[in-house]
Amino acid sequence: MGHTNFNMLLKYVPPLVVTLALNLEPALGSLAGWAVGVAAAPGPWTAVGGVAMLLATMVVSSAAAAREVSVSDNNSFDSSGGSTHVPRCIVFR
């Protein structure tokens, strides 16, 4: 049922956000298990990996947001000077 919810989220949020959330699931799951007392405390390598995944998530999210702004800034006006509709999407070049 849990991963089905991620699939349903695709209707409301960009696929990149869902993918990043899925990548953080192991680190957050081990912390949640430890917090409720059903798992041992995460080891030092788990902490290093979790921090690395969190930093990577922040970098990818920032880059995606910058690209989205860049694309909408470059395409906001047509040649006649009128405003055009630009869909909010991420363009990878």
- Whether the pLDDT of residue 17 is over 90: the answer is no
Q: Is the pLDDT of residue 34 over 90?
A: yes
The 10s digit of each residue's pLDDT in 49-86 is: 989 988 988 888 888 878 777 666 655 554 555 445 55
Half-sphere exposure of 7 (CA within 13 A, CB side): 4
Residue 33 above 90 pLDDT? yes
Query: Is the CB of residue 34 less than 8 Å from the CB of residue 41?
Result: yes
What's the pTM value of the predicted model, to 2 decimals? Answer: 0.59
**Coil/strand/helix, residue 40:** coil
Q: What is the pLDDT of residue 87?
A: 52
Torsion of CA 89, 87, 11, 49, to 10 degrees: 20
